[in-house]
Structure 1
Amino acid sequence: MTETMLLDPVQVLVASDQPLQVGSAALFEDDRLIALGDEARARARERGVSGHDRGQQLLAPCLVDPHSSLPHPFTGSGETLETLINAAGRAGYGQLALLPNGESERDSPERLKGFQPKDCDLKVHLWGSFSHRGEGERLSSHADLLQAGAIGLSAGEQMPSANLIDRALMLGEMAGAPVLIAPHDSSLRGDGMIREGVETLRAGWPADPTISETLPMGQLLELQRRHGKRKLVLMNLSTADGVEMLSHTPSPALATVSWWHLVQDRSKQTAETTQWFVTPSIGGEADRNALIDGLREGTINAVAVHGMPLDDEECLLPPDQRPKGLSGHHLVLPTLWKHLVIDLGWSVNQLWQALSFGPARLLGQDEERLSIGSNRWLLFDPEQTWDHTRDAPYAPKAANQPWIGVPIRGQVVSCGLKIPTNQAD
């Protein structure tokens, strides 16, 4: 939008503490929201601006991704910081938090520089590395990392020893900043590709036992009990047993879940669908349903994209040799709208709690909201159908996106954020 425009009618979600407004109106000027409701209509009449019927579309706050990976932010032939910001911003994400692991582990303050582009409204947050070089042997300088701007501390995909975590929480240099730890033990997972179950055996893939999550999770929940003032966050809960443990602990930690675990389970796994291999492993239908219930009830606090972009060369490797993960910020809202809102009857407020308000609080940031004079908004059309291709304008550069070539229903058709790579459009 580059001129004065009235959307009337349009559905409007202003903030977490306000109900969805159906049949409202919104007036924009140069991508900034200048009025809502009857005031928008009145000011549009004064200016001689006619309305555009967008009654099926939703005007809402931007989305927030609490953690994703970007191993090669400034180099490489695949996804870079520039292409990720461009794709995620156009998908409605106003905030991204990047995990510290990559070609240069962010374990020191100087490695936190250069990630926030100038004149860019999408906020790039950085997790600082929990341990020196990400090796899990000794602690990094937590106080220095946080003072330099780290959003919190993360150990990436593999949980460090309980002793090291206990020592860090006891020292308390992180104060109230989040500490993101994956309840994942790779030694217990072994060569597992899919969570254990009948379907895993039928597909012929090595099984990942449930205890690869529940045993380390028990340690983390005990550490949270011992250090109740710390903000421990369990990254990517993936099993029904894990949800059960979290819901019954007297001192629950915060938790996230990957969007992929909410829409897929091993009952649909075949030997050919290698993009399904992620960390943590995909489980069964009971796991997926428990994760959805935990998210709806607030046991799980946020949905993460948890993107792990791979290039074409990496995707040619055998499944058991290539990094596990997938990408696709632009797929998250359309997919969860279909699975949670349409199929399960979730409200818009519930979905935005999972995709925006909850993630922002988890990161210690102010919640996204629609504010007069601000350009932090997205416009989502649940009826819009689009072709998912890698060569589309502003498409992510990652090679490991699911559903390439499949038409997708639901799309962010406009977003007010100023992104350096799409200002001219």
Structure 2
Amino acid sequence: MTELDDILVSGEFAAFRDAYGPEVRPAGPAEVRRTVRRRRRRAAVTTAAVVALAVALPVAANAALHERRSPAPTESVEPTPSEPTGSPTPSATSSPTPSTASPTPAAPNGRISRAQLLAARVDLPDWPSYAPESCTVNDVRLDPGPGIIADPVPVLFGEPRYGDLDGDGAVETVALIACRFGEASAKQVVAFDRDERGRVVTLGQVVGVREGMGDITDFSVAADGTVRAHVADIQPCCSTPQWWPQRQWRTYTWTGSRFSQTAGPTKFGTDPRLTDLRLTAGDLVLGPADASGKRPGSVTVTVTNKGPVDVPGVGFGEQFTIGEPAGGDLTRCRMTPTDGSDACVLDGLQVGRSRTYTFRFLVDPAGPPGGQRSLRVIHFDAQGRYWTDLRLRDNFVNLHVVG
């Protein structure tokens, strides 16, 4: 290139800068970073291309004027794939992005000890209508027991038991609560839990006494969260013996809003251990008074077993209202305790059979207190235990005295 050519090229560069320089704007930081990444692989080629592009217009104009240079050979360049925009896609081996969802909080621990339950104030389910007003339900501080007649208040019976009743992964507490009135107690099995602040709250009543189910004696909590309650049709108290109640195990399950029975018998029905004895009697016939003023008396009675159970022993009670035993079938009596007095127990009696007995007494003409002489038939089993009857009204007779 001659000196004249150098002067011409320099002049063309100066003219180019004066014409286009004000329109050029520097690229922003993002564009610079993308450009740098592309140029790492093709730095030399890209640099040459940029220089050629910058020179092309003035050089071409100069060549057209002077026709002193031949065109430069065109360089063949392999196209480079364009870089993707935006964030790169993670590879298959990339670590997964942690979830931004908030974890579900764990259910409160509902295991409440006996001491904690006694220290808390709780709301209880309703007591049966026959319970006294002192058997409260709101803001109750349970008594450690045993309940007394003079102070009937809700009492915690025994130790609580535990299990996951509602399927939330945490255990709840089950307890037997009672409130005494007279010689009996109203009872209910109650489930307790804790709220999110750790306070003791009542989940609900599992089962409570009601008409036809007079007692709850025990309960257990199974691994599947069901509660089994040992219930009875009547509650032994007062003069009711311990062996009279019918007893059953019934199963209860939390249904989301309350407990419902899911297994076991739903009612007691007629006690299969009982039968129907019927007593009839003739007149009490009195004879002349002896030296002491007492009169001999004789009465014949008939007992019929109308079923459905054979009776191992037929007993007679209240014979003391008639007089002193003085012979007849009374000489074979096995005197056996009943509810407050002894009964004369004789032979057994099968279903559908009848037997007649004759009793002799020495009768005081003044008569018993109240003046009524009566007799009662009683069912005894092989263990000497006495039972009630399916039809009590035909177990009694008031004797008609003649003579």
TM-score over 0.5 (shorter chain): no
Higher CA-based Rg: 2
Q: For CA contacts below 8 A with separation 6 or more, give which structure has more relative contact order.
A: 1
Whichever structure has more strand as a proportion of its residues is 2
TM superposition score normalised by structure 1: 0.20
Indicate the structure with greater helix content: 1
